[in-house]
Amino acid sequence: MKNYMFLAILLSIALGIVCGIFIPEQMIAIQWIGQLFINLLKLIVLPLIFCALVSAITSIGGMKRLGSIGVYTLGYVLLSVSIAVAIGLFLLNVFKPGVGIPPSLILANATPTDLKPMAFSSYLLSLFPPNIVAAAAKYEIMPIVFFSIVFSLACLAVGQTATPVISFFVGLRDVLIKMITWLMVLTPVGLFSLLGTAVAEASIEHLLLQSLSGMILFILIFLSGLLLQFLWQLFVVAIVLRKNPKQFISNASNALITAFATSSSMATLPVTLMVAKNEDISDDVARFVLPFATTINLAGTAMYEAVSALFFCQILGLHLSIPAQIGVFITAILAGMGATGIPEGGLVTMVMVLRNVNVPASAIGLLLPFDRILDRFRTMTNVWGDLVCAATVDHLQQWRLKNSNHRAQTR
C-alpha cells in the first residue's frame, strides 16, 4: 500500500506540473481543492500538537528524563539554525549576487507590502496571550506549545488525580492519528491541485524582473545553502547515528514531498510523525521533539531571512561590518524561530531582520514573485531538520540510558 501511495504522489506531482503549464485556467478553477486539503491538515494540527505534547511529556516518566530530552532538542535546534545562517552569510559574502543590481529596484520599483514590523516585546507578549482559545482561533502556534508544556508539567506535579485527564488526551491523540491516516488517502489529489495551481499562476503572470541574472544567482546561492544544510545533517545520520542514509531519505520522502507541496511544516507534522514511527524513533521522543522542533527549528527560514537582508544591503551599497553581520546572524535566528512554520510566515518576521540593517521593508516586494517556490524548498529543509533532530535526540537519549544502566550495574 505504501509503494502504491508513493507512486500515486509522484504521478499527481507530474500531472499537476503538466496541467499547470498547458491548462492553467482550469487549474486555477480547482484551486479550492488544494486549499481544502491544507485546511483539513490544519484542522487536525492544533489539537494534535496539544495532545501529542501532553501525552509525550506526561508519559516520559519523570522530570529528570524530560529535562534531558528538552536540553538535547534545544541544543540541536540552536546548533542547526546557527549553522544554516552561517552557511547563508558565508555564501553571500563570497559571491555577492546583489552587487550590480540598481538600487532603484528596491527604492522605487518595489511595491510596499502590508507587513508590519514586530518589536521583540510584542513578539514576547504574543507568546503569552490573555486568551488561549483566541490564540488558537488565530492559528498562533507558539502560545499553544507553551501552554501545552506548562499544562503537562502541572499534570505531572498534581500526580495521581491527574491520571484521568492524561488518559483523555492520550485517547484523543490516538483518535486524531486515525483521522490523519484517513486523510493521507487524499494526499495525491491535494498535491495535484496545490502544485498545479502554483505552476498555473506562474505561467499566467509571466513575472519578469530587472537584473534577472542577479536574482537567478541569488536564488541559486540560496538553494545551494539549503543543499549544504541538508548534506551536513545527512552526514550526522550516516556517521553519528549510524543509520542507512538511503533508507532514511526513502522513509522521509513522503514528509518532504508533503512539505514541498503545502509549504507548511505544521501541515506536514502528521506525516512527519508517521516517518518517525517508520524510523523506529521512540514514541516518547517523537511526540515531544517533533511538535516542539516544528515551531522553532526553522533553519531554512532563518537562512532565507539572513541572506535576503545581506542581498538587499549589497543592492543598496551598504557595507556591513563583522559586528553588523553578527547582529544579522542573531536576529535571523530569533526571527526564523518566530515564523511558526506556516506558509510564507518568514515574510512577516523578515521585517525584524531588515530593520536591524536599516533596509526598507518594501524591499521584500523584490522577492515576492519567487517567494512561493523558495518557501517550498526551505520548508522541506525545515522538515528534514526536524526528522534528523528527532533521530539525534532519540540516539542521545538511548546512549544516556545505556550509560546510566552500565554505571548502575558496576556499582
pLDDT digits (tens, 9 = 90+) for 99-149: 877 776 666 444 444 444 445 566 567 667 788 888 777 766 667 777 887
Cell numbers linked to 32? 479550492
pLDDT of residue 352 exceeding 80, the answer is: no
Specify which of 61-70, 196-205, 212-221 reaches the highest per-range mean pLDDT: 212-221
Q: How many residues does the chain have?
A: 411
How many C-beta atoms lie closer than 10 Å to residue 211's C-beta?
A: 17
In which band, very low, low, confident or very high, does the pLDDT at 152 lie, cut at 50, 70 and 90? confident
Q: Which three cell numbers stand for residue 182?
A: 484517513
pLDDT-derived band at 91 (thresholds 50, 70, 90) equals: very high
Q: Which residue has the higher pLDDT, 123 or 404?
A: 404
Please state which CATH number belongs to domain 2-410. 1.10.3860.10
* DSSP 8-state code for residue 258: H
In this predicted structure, the answer to whether residue 239 has a pLDDT above a threshold of 80 is yes
What's the grid cell of residue 320? Answer: 556591513
pLDDT at 343: 44
Decide if 141 contacts 337 (C-beta within 8 A).
Answer: no
Q: Which three cell numbers stand for residue 69?
A: 530530552
Q: Is pLDDT above 50 for 307?
A: yes
Domain positions in the chain: 2-410
Which of residues 152 and 252 earns the better pLDDT score?
A: 252
Q: Is 0.75 topped by the overall pTM? A: no
Share of the chain residues as helix, strand and coil, in percent rounded to the nearest 5: 85, 0, 15
Rounded-to-integer distance, Cα 232 and Cα 28, Å: 38
- Nearest Cα residue to 193 out of 5, 7, 19, 383: 19
Q: Does residue 53 contact residue 149 with C-beta atoms inside 8 Å?
A: yes
- Cα dihedral sign for 276, 282, 287, 290? negative
DSSP readout, 186-249? GHHHHHHHHHHHHHHHHHHH----SSHHHHHHHHHHHHHHHHHHHHHHHHIIIIIS---HHHHH
